[in-house]
């Protein structure tokens, strides 16, 4: 099976930057660990993109292994596009807004 390219939207990049800054302020090692956890999540999504549950239509979500974040993504034109990286306790309406 051909490996799909993984792309991040500007919103997803901003989500990651905010989370990274938060954890890095607590402990620089946590910032590194967050990036490692996201890298693992992206590898898993890339290897099995249809394995994760649908969330509002064609959006899928995957729970990161270590940190309490969901990675929201879609399969678009042969690529995997990550639209959001949101804390599991974040305002529920935001998840729905991003899924549109």
50-83: per-residue pLDDT in tens? 999 998 889 999 999 999 999 999 999 889 999 9
CATH of the domain at 69: 3.30.2310.20
Which residue range forms the structural domain that includes residue 33? 5-99
The whole-number pLDDT of residue 56 equals: 82
pLDDT at residue 89, as a whole number:
83
Contact 61/55 with Cβ under 8 angstroms?
yes
> From the CB of residue 76, how many other CB atoms can be counted at a distance below 10 Å?
12
Higher-pLDDT residue of 6 and 96 is: 6
- How many structural domains are present in the chain? 1
Strands 54-55 and 5-8, by their bridges, are unpaired
Structure confidence by residue, pLDDT tens digits, 4-27: 899 999 999 999 999 999 999 999
């Amino acid at each position: 099976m051909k490996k799909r390219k993984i792309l991040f939207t500007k919103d997803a990049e901003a989500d990651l930057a905010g989370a990274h800054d938060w954890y890095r302020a607590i402990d620089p090692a946590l910032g590194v660990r967050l990036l490692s956890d996201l890298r693992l999540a992206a590898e898993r999504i890339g290897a099995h993109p249809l394995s994760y549950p649908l969330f509002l239509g064609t959006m899928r979500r995957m729970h990161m292994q270590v940190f309490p974040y969901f990675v929201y993504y879609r399969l678009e034109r042969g690529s995997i596009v990550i639209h959001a990286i949101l804390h599991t306790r974040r305002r529920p309406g935001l998840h729905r807004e991003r899924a549109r």
